[in-house]
Amino acid sequence: MTLKNIMTAALVCLTFTACSDDFLENKPQGPLSEGNMNDPQAVDLLVSGAYATFGCRYADSNDPHWYPVTNWSYGEVRADNAYKGGGGETDAWEIHDMETAKIQPNNGFLDGKWFNVYCGISRCNSAIRALNKVDENLIPEKNIRIAEVKVIRSHWYFELVRLFNRIPYMDINLPENEYQSVRNDEFTREQHLARIAGELLEAAEVLPEAQTEIGRVNRRIALAYAAKVKLYQAYEQDPQTNAVININKSLLQEVVNLIDQVQGYDLLTDFQQLDLLEYENGPESVFAIQFSKDDGSSGVGRINWSMLLNSMTGPGCPWQGDGFFLPSQDLINAYQTDENGLPLFDYQNRPDYGNVVFDSNGGYTLGNVDGNVDPRLDFVIGRPTIRYKTYSERPCGLWVRNSDTYGYNNTKRFWLSPESPDATQGWPWGASALNWQLIRYADLLLYKAEALIEIGGSGLEKARTLINRVRTRAMNSDYVKDFYDQTKDAANYKIGLYPASVWNQDYARQALRTEMRLEKAMEGERFFDLVRWGIAKETMNNYFAAEKDNRIYYQNASFETGEEYFPVPVAQYNFSGGIYVQNPGYPSF
């Protein structure tokens, strides 16, 4: 049995603070109480409720596409990888403000995300409190289940720290009526991260190396997540400017040591297998949110509702979605490579690659395509005239809802091919059971390489090997073929391995950061990477300058010091009775 089935079967958990159980898609048959907590089925339902928080569907916030667990808006549109898309600048203006660095504390999509994440934490806390009362003699797996829920709770706290920095820590035994008295400046970012990593490591001591049910948290997941948290913790920040003021090499060595303990994973042989159902719980999947379709629950099932708005649309498009979350031209340009197949670090000084050129009859081609590109370009991005996955009726067209504003490129990642019987043909367009990867093995290879590069010394060569391993997988993947002549590649694909002759710490750092972007584009991590490295302001202002001729709404965009984190939402300040402190970079309450 997988957790997809477990969570679908769950009918009710505890009554959780400020959060209903609507996300379970079933009517509750009664609350779990201390009287039935020694029933193994009751325990499973309780823990399933904690896992189901990844669905982010709560009674007061039943729009997970606006507050996505995938962080497509918070981590990609807010960075240099993606445009908001949709109907135009005013369509979901809250995300437009994220894209153009015009965030204000009254942005409802910030308050919704804050609320959703604390709902997840509240449910986890309630589950742990109840599980603590279980008789271990009757439920031998009690401590394992508690450890699983602690890992889930750690995920949610990590989300909050990366998004909002100054957050209140809700002690598990804190009465609900005292929530308003908890300050959001009691702990620093580094203290929060240290506590999160510590709890993950404590959970790892209890969890088994593997679980019999696919999707359950195990020891390797806890160790991998602890490594990720410690990687962030190692970049110590000035609390007033968010600038990186020190990189803690001892913590980075812990990152390396933890990742070395995570055994049993490997890269998939082809990058495009990341978006195929038959590989989703395969060797590369370390920690994934388990989604399902046609699973017996109401509607289409427990699909990834975070992606509801993001399926492509336009003339001749097989789907007619809402067209949000589109790749930026800057991201496309970043996939260009030199004669050796290495990235062009100066790509922003070059003309746009693959721009759409119209003829007098309304036909179109792609211009400036003679140069080399990394093959991952057409694994990640749907470009006009290029084959879209295995769809055979026509190549990708001008499948963008508002191309005057956002250009003509859409996203291939996270979607099945349109003709797939496993993809919904009507609403919600393109929905499937495809999981969302929170941590995959390629992440761990790159996290370890990053730590080794910043430590320096003899680890630099090992880092080169790790990065080249990720590049080798892309090199050996099946390249996208020309739609009309499958003996030819759809572009001049060329990707090479980094040679030892160019490999010093500065070059290695640039190579790692570029590789992180190209390998993980659109996965919801880009902006958080920029903040961790301390280069968000520089990167974003360079991006706005490079893109303003393409996207007119960037003309006055400017990223300022302090905007590395979202402001504390004004609704949460009001909830606290005025004791919350605003983040630096924004006006005080």
Q: pLDDT band at 351, cuts 50/70/90? A: very high
**How far is CA 123 from each of CA 149, 169, 297, 332, rounded to the nearest angstrom?**
9, 14, 21, 41
Contact 413, 380 (CB under 8 A): yes
Is the pLDDT at 256 greater than 70? The verdict is yes
Q: pLDDT band at 165, cuts 50/70/90? A: very high
Q: pLDDT band at 353, cuts 50/70/90? A: very high
Query: How far is residue 18's CA from residue 68's CA, in Å, rounded to a whole number?
Result: 19
Is the pLDDT at 557 greater than 50? The verdict is yes
Determine the straight-line distance between the first and last CA of the chain, rounded to whole angstroms.
50
**How far is CA 56 from each of CA 112, 197, 532, rounded to the nearest angstrom?**
10, 23, 26
* Nearest one of 29, 101, 15, 12 to 548, comparing CA atoms: 101
pLDDT attached to residue 6: 41
pLDDT digits (tens, 9 = 90+) for 286-306: 999 999 998 877 788 899 999
| 225 within some domain | yes
Count of domains for the chain: 2
pLDDT attached to residue 21: 35
Q: Which amino acid is at 139?
A: I
pLDDT attached to residue 19: 42
Q: Do 335 and 247 fall into the same domain?
A: no
| 424 within some domain | yes
Lowest mean pLDDT among 22-26, 49-53, 141-145, 546-550: 22-26
Query: How far is residue 17's CA from residue 123's CA, in Å, rounded to a whole number?
Result: 7
Q: Do 90 and 228 fall into the same domain?
A: yes
Q: Mean pLDDT in the chain?
A: 92
Is the pLDDT at 507 greater than 50? The verdict is yes
| 71 within some domain | yes
Query: How far is residue 98's CA from residue 86's CA, in Å, rounded to a whole number?
Result: 14
Contact 13, 226 (CB under 8 A): no
| 34 within some domain | yes
* Nearest one of 52, 39, 42, 43 to 8, comparing CA atoms: 52
Helices (H), 481-551: 505-520, 526-533, 536-547
Q: Do 11 and 87 fall into the same domain?
A: yes
Q: Do 388 and 512 fall into the same domain?
A: yes
pLDDT attached to residue 35: 56
Is the pLDDT at 27 greater than 60? The verdict is no
HEC sequence for 153-222: HHHHHHHHHHHHCCCCCCCCCCCHHHHHHCCCCCCCHHHHHHHHHHHHHHHHHHCCCCCCCCCCCCHHHH
Query: How far is residue 148's CA from residue 368's CA, in Å, rounded to a whole number?
Result: 51
Three-state DSSP at 326 gives: strand
Three-state DSSP at 528 gives: helix
Higher-pLDDT residue of 579 and 58 is 579
Q: pLDDT band at 63, cuts 50/70/90? A: confident
Q: pLDDT band at 251, cuts 50/70/90? A: very high
CB-based contacts of 129-132 (< 8 A; 24+ apart in sequence): 129/172, 129/173, 130/14, 130/32, 130/34, 130/37, 130/46, 131/37, 131/43, 131/46, 131/47
Q: Do 475 and 372 fall into the same domain?
A: yes
Contact 376, 275 (CB under 8 A): no
| 103 within some domain | yes
Query: How far is residue 49's CA from residue 192's CA, in Å, rounded to a whole number?
Result: 25
Q: Do 385 and 478 fall into the same domain?
A: yes
Q: Do 335 and 202 fall into the same domain?
A: no
Q: Which amino acid is at 322?
A: D
Is the pLDDT at 16 greater than 70? The verdict is no
Q: pLDDT band at 229, cuts 50/70/90? A: very high
pLDDT attached to residue 13: 38
* Nearest one of 203, 199, 62, 32 to 126, comparing CA atoms: 32
Final residue of a structural domain among 484, 505, 520: 520
Q: Tell me the chain's radius of gyration from C-alpha atoms.
A: 23
Q: In the structure encoding, which two tokens stand for residue 125, read together? A: 């806390």
Q: Do 14 and 93 fall into the same domain?
A: yes
* Nearest one of 36, 47, 55, 56 to 13, comparing CA atoms: 47
Burial status of residue 327 (CB atoms within 10 A of its CB: 0-12, 13-18, 19 or more): buried
Here the CATH number for the domain that contains residue 16 is 1.25.40.390
Q: Do 393 and 258 fall into the same domain?
A: no
Query: How far is residue 29's CA from residue 404's CA, in Å, rounded to a whole number?
Result: 51
Q: pLDDT band at 46, cuts 50/70/90? A: confident
Q: Do 377 and 255 fall into the same domain?
A: no
Contact 89, 405 (CB under 8 A): yes
- Cross-strand partners of 243: none
pLDDT attached to residue 97: 98
Q: Do 405 and 495 fall into the same domain?
A: yes
HEC sequence for 460-486: HHHHHHHHHHHHHHHHHCCCCECCCCC
pLDDT digits (tens, 9 = 90+) for 454-486: 999 999 999 999 999 999 999 999 999 999 999
Query: How far is residue 538's CA from residue 553's CA, in Å, rounded to a whole number?
Result: 19
* Nearest one of 22, 82, 529 to 328, comparing CA atoms: 82
Q: In the structure encoding, which two tokens stand for residue 273, read together? A: 């297998």
| 452 within some domain | yes
pLDDT digits (tens, 9 = 90+) for 402-419: 999 999 999 999 999 999
* Nearest one of 233, 253, 278 to 459, comparing CA atoms: 253
pLDDT attached to residue 526: 98
Measured on CA atoms in the order 96, 97, 98, 104, is the torsion positive or negative?
Answer: negative
Residue 8: which H helix or E strand, with range? helix 3-9
Q: Do 350 and 205 fall into the same domain?
A: no
- Domain interval for residue 506: 306-520
pLDDT digits (tens, 9 = 90+) for 77-88: 999 999 999 999
pLDDT attached to residue 34: 52
> What is the pLDDT averaged over residues 411-439?
95
Burial 498-537 (b: 16+ CB within 10 A, else e): beeeebeeeebbebbbbbbbbbbbbbbbbbbbbbbbbebb
| 201 within some domain | yes
- Who contacts 472 (Cβ-Cβ below 8 Å, separation ≥6)? 497
Q: Which amino acid is at 586?
A: Y
Is the pLDDT at 170 greater than 90? The verdict is yes
pLDDT digits (tens, 9 = 90+) for 328-341: 999 999 999 999 99
pLDDT attached to residue 352: 97
| 534 within some domain | no
Contact 438, 158 (CB under 8 A): no
- Who contacts 346 (Cβ-Cβ below 8 Å, separation ≥6)? none
